[in-house]
Amino acid sequence: MEYIIPVVIIIAAILFLVLFFTFVPLGLWISARASGVHIGIFQLVGMRIRKVIPSRIVSPLIKATKAGLTVSINKLEAHYLAGGNVDRVINALIAAQRAGIPLDFEKSCAIDLAGRDVLNAVQMSVNPKVIETPVIAAVAMDGIELRAKARVTVRANIDRLVGGAGEETIIARIGEGIVTTVGSSASHKEVLENPDLISRTVLNKGLDAGTAFEILSIDIADVDVGRNVGAQLQIDQAEADKRIAQALAEERRAMAVAQEQENLAAVQGMRARVIEAEAEVPKAIATAFREGKLGVMDYYNMQNIISDTEMRNAISRGTAPAPRNAGEQEGK
């Protein structure tokens, strides 16, 4: 029994030490005090209770203090709880201080919470970045296509990082400027002779307005001649006009054929009426004989006139006269 109490005391002491060093980062507190950072041990315990990793706050605070920056530990903890990257913000503040760029803690936190890399923005302000655009095709007024590629040198604008457009907008605006410049040129040779015409036009448009960058220069890296779009469009238009003309001609031909068939039907109808009328002539002659209006000599004179007319027509055509039918020959 006398050995149980010391064992229990030792186990309790071990558990106490484990819990103590778990909630109290003693080593981190000693490092902070040695670096001149005035932070209480209970503040570190409070961070543990608020589910804040003390090293994520204390280490950047030590770094800021050594760099001569005055930053409140409460602001660092608030930024951490808001989802920000405290270490990156402190690194950006130190880099901006060394480069002489005006940047305060509140603005850097706003940039970080906006989803932008504030440290990269500060570095880009010191060392400008080159953005290379894809190949952009544009057509001049003479119908020749040009393919241009540009390199844009930009510098981050700290004041417009929050709410400013990104690289995609810069590339899109550069492409718009290239298309506008080439499209307004009377000949593609003007652009080939003076590629800096594109650079001047694009720079004068102020394409960096509303973006997080400041355009320093635009250099045309390459300009190539593409297709003859104007000629191709003319060929396509001519082909379309040809097909339209063919369709109209086919329509007119079909209408002509239909009209011809209608005319043939009309001619056949007229011939039928002529034959019907000719069939009435013998009946009329017979009626005239019966009524005494036509004599025999009158009939023979009429037949002689008809025969004489047929003979003259045959002579004029160079053919033999057609023989009269049997009834008429017997009558003669």
Q: Is pLDDT above 70 for 16?
A: no
Residues 102 and 160 in one domain: no
Residue 83 shares a structural domain with residue 161: no
pLDDT in tens, 211-264: 888 888 888 877 788 777 777 777 878 888 889 999 989 989 999 999 889 888
Residue 287 lies in a domain: no
Residue 299 located in a structural domain: yes
pLDDT band at 115 (very low <50, low <70, confident <90, very high): confident
322 lies in a domain? yes
* Three-class SS state of 228: strand
Phi then psi for residue 114, to 5 deg, are: -75, -5
Q: Tell me whether residue 244 is in a domain.
A: no
Give the CATH number, domain containing residue 200: 3.30.479.30
Token readout for 326 is 């049997």
State the average pLDDT for the chain. 80
Q: Given a cut of 70, is residue 17 above it in pLDDT?
A: no
- Token pair in block for residue 57: 């706050």
Domain that holds residue 196: 129-225
Provide the pLDDT confidence category of residue 329 given band limits of 50, 70 and 90: very low
Q: Give CA–CA dist 275/36, Å, rounded.
A: 134
Residues in contact with 300: Cβ distance below 8 Å, sequence separation at least 6, in sequence order: 332
- pLDDT band at residue 327 under the 50/70/90 scheme: very low
Q: What pLDDT, on the 0 to 100 scale, is given for residue 330?
A: 40
Helix, strand and coil percent figures for the chain, each rounded to 5: 65, 10, 25
Q: 265 lies in a domain?
A: no
**Same structural domain, 9 and 84:** yes
Model confidence at 45: pLDDT above 60: yes
Do the domain assignments include residue 284? no
Angle between helices 54-66 and 86-99 (to 10 degrees): 10
Last residue of a domain, one of 173, 207, 225: 225
pTM over 0.85: no
Residue 260 lies in a domain: no
Q: Is residue 134 located within the same domain as residue 206?
A: yes
Q: Do 117 and 214 share a structural domain?
A: no
Contact 130, 105 (CB under 8 A): no
Residues β-bridged to residue 150: 220
Total domains, the chain: 3
Nearest to residue 148, comparing CAs of 124, 180, 123? 180
| DSSP 3-state of 128 | coil
Write the pLDDT tens digit of every residue in 261-293: 988 888 888 888 888 887 887 888 788 877 777
Same domain, 191 and 301: no
- Encode pLDDT of 88-101 as tens digits: 888 888 888 888 88
Yes or no: say if 131 and 154 are a contact pair by the CB < 8 Å rule: yes
Band (pLDDT 50/70/90 cuts) for residue 195 is: confident
Q: Is the pLDDT of residue 49 over 80?
A: no
Residues 166, 187: one domain? yes
